[in-house]
């Protein structure tokens, strides 16, 4: 083991998270912490690790960006023919993890996953910069390609072909909504006695809040 790794440690002392602090609704608690991360100037506070299950039953994780939040769930967008898209088609369940280092906070969310509506996907696609729209059209995400030149040439050819015309969202590109069944809010504390509060739904859909040992 590289020796310096064992020595990497710090004392967590930026805050606390008690039952008295926690909102009864985990969605509202998430909105509050996300707002804190944005106000703290954290770069891309909406970046989250999306974990899925591959065809061998193994976990598969990558960073995606949260691009929508409502009372049903957390929304991100991607190619549905990509590796994660294929994995979600086969196993429509996932977890997402947010980590905001300077705040010493982490949020974990687990739940089922569904597609957003075509209208939602269209609206978000058309809100993206034109370069991102063009890129989504030319990229067969997760496919093996010979080199980068293939992508860049395809982008040039598409841009020349369409000119200034409005672009249509590829049918293979769209949104996913993670429907939370469990949330865990983690706040770093001294002596590694961190605060961990979990919200889970009972059989009636009522949120139950529990403290977990760190």
The catalytic residue positions are 192
Calculate ∠ Cα 11-189-106, nearest 5°.
105
CB-based burial label for 131 (10 Å; 0-12, 13-18, 19+): exposed
Q: Measured between alpha carbons, how far is 38 from 46 in angstroms, rounded to an integer?
A: 9
DSSP 190: G
Q: Measured between alpha carbons, how far is 212 from 214 in angstroms, rounded to an integer?
A: 6
Q: Measured between alpha carbons, how far is 155 from 148 in angstroms, rounded to an integer?
A: 11
Give the distance between the most distant pair of CA atoms in the chain.
61
């Amino acid at each position: 083991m590289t020796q310096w790794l064992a020595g990497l440690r710090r004392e967590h002392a930026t805050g606390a998270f008690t039952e008295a602090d926690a909102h009864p609704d985990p969605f509202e608690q998430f909105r509050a912490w996300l707002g804190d991360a944005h106000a703290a100037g954290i770069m891309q506070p909406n970046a989250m690790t999306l974990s899925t299950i591959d065809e061998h039953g193994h976990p598969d994780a990558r960073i995606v960006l949260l691009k929508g939040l409502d009372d049903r769930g957390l929304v991100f967008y991607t190619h549905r023919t990509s590796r994660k898209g294929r994995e979600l088609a086969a196993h429509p369940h996932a977890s997402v993890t947010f980590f905001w280092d300077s705040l010493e906070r982490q949020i974990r969310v687990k739940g089922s996953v569904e597609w957003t509506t075509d209208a939602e996907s269209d609206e978000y696609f058309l809100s993206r910069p034109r370069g991102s729209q063009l890129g989504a059209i030319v990229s067969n995400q997760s496919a093996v390609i010979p080199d980068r030149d293939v992508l860049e040439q395809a982008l040039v050819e598409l841009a020349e072909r369409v000119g200034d015309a409005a672009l249509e969202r590829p049918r293979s590109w769209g949104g996913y909504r993670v429907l939370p069944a469990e949330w865990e809010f983690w706040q770093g504390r001294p002596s590694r006695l961190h605060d961990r509060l979990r919200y889970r739904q009972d059989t009636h859909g009522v949120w139950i809040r529990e403290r977990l040992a760190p």
